[in-house]
Amino acid sequence: MSMQGSGLMPQQQAYDTREAGASRFQRWQVMGAVVLVAFLTILARVGISGAKVEMAHDLGIGDLAFGMVFGAFALGYAAFMIPAGAMADRWGPRKSLTLSVFLWSLFTLCTGLVVGVTVLIVVRLLFGLAEAGVFPQATRALHNWTLPGERGVALGLLNMGSRLGAALGLTLTPLCVAWVGWRASFAGLGVVGVLWSGIWFVWFRDLPGPKPAAVPTGTTRAEGEVEQSKRNSPIPWRAFLHSRNFYLILYQYFACNFTFFLCFSWLLPFLRAHYAISAGQAGLYASVPLYCGVVATWSGGWAVDRIYKTGRWRLSRALPAFLGFGLAIATLLAAPFMPSAGYFVACFALTTVGVDFTLGSSWTVCCDVGGTCSGMLSAAMNTLGAMGSLASSLLFPLLVGRSGRVGTYFCLAALLNIIAVVCWKYIEPERGLGPEETPGASDVVNQREDAAASG
């Protein structure tokens, strides 16, 4: 039976961490570092929302102009995502992630120094450009340092850090602004980011092992030499564009972010207006889905790895995605009929659990299919996710305004999630970018070699 056709792994893994060049403790150190930077990155991103009222007052910025400030970040973030992913594959995650974090930290510091709306728009555009690379570059670092059977948890933790940063950022930023002011708050966060980038550059190495040229975790030494040589190879644009996996992976992430982004945009004002509750109550309710997402991102990654260790490669990626999108579909259809804010938030929190449960599958399959181009593939996926977020933020008020019912938006989101389920039926993690090149199949080669070595 063909491995590509079945999605089954021929042997259970028998990795030798001494051959891989990294101990379990060292791999967890790398995971911890990228979870921390994910937390700081999103904390910096949502900080401006928590400081919006004070900034608008001090700088004399109206809501329309502040909308341009938010839009400037989104534009920069989407525009530079794919080039930033290419940097991760070409330069390695050590240099590329150091540069990205240093630059977003610098522009966070600059945010605290602005004196007018024009300068603020430019700074937020540059901030978006700098932040675009963080998650693709962190994904490439985890691809290099983690075993295939633990990438689900690693990438789930990466996304957990981002959710926790968002939830705490929306809660803590207003308190910091009230305590030290918005200028000092941005300055302090920028300094923390600069410190992280310096430590990462000094401590981290692109590939595990005693030397910088050592072999990536989970590969043979011969494959490590191939990994090094591919850094100087042209980006396989043709393979990307001719891969069915490429389009399926991108679309399902569009649907995921379209659904989730309501947490970052219209959920809080919708709760205040639709259920006539106070700003304090709405803020408390709006944070609940984000905290639920913290649990879902980790548990989704755990499920990916748990199933993978049974020898079912394709099922390990597809089943958590099926379950997550299925839960999201059911709760999206039920949410508009909730009679109170509490019931609505409980229902939408389950929606968030559903779509966040799929993140481990999404980011892990980028490592499977992308291989040495996993930075590029995850960047392209995240770009479509950003487009989904933008579409959600624009269509929610448009659809609710025209129909007078919130159900129209939720039905559309449910339909997109149904199509995402269909996408996961046809995504093949064991198939690389083209029929002749299967980067993900290197894991299978390792299993065969390990099985032969063990005898």
Determine which of 100-114, 163-177, 236-250, 344-358 has the lowest per-residue pLDDT on average. Answer: 163-177
Task: Please write the tens of the pLDDT for every residue from 20-45.
Answer: 457 889 999 999 999 999 999 999 98
Residue 187 in this model has a pLDDT that exceeds 90: yes
- SS3 of 8, please? strand
Residues 6+ apart with CB under 8 A from 97: 37, 88, 133, 134, 137, 138, 141, 197, 200, 204
Cα first-last separation, the chain: 23
Report the percent of the chain where pLDDT is more than 70.
Answer: 84
Residue 234 in this model has a pLDDT that exceeds 70: no
Task: Please write the tens of the pLDDT for every residue from 390-449.
Answer: 888 788 888 887 777 889 999 999 999 999 999 999 999 988 875 444 444 444 444 433
CA distance 76 to 82: 11
Task: Please write the tens of the pLDDT for every residue from 8-25.
Answer: 443 333 333 334 457 889
Residue 56 neighbours by CB distance under 10 Å: 16
CA distance 240 to 225: 23
Residue 118 neighbours by CB distance under 10 Å: 11
- Predicted TM-score (pTM) of the model is 0.76
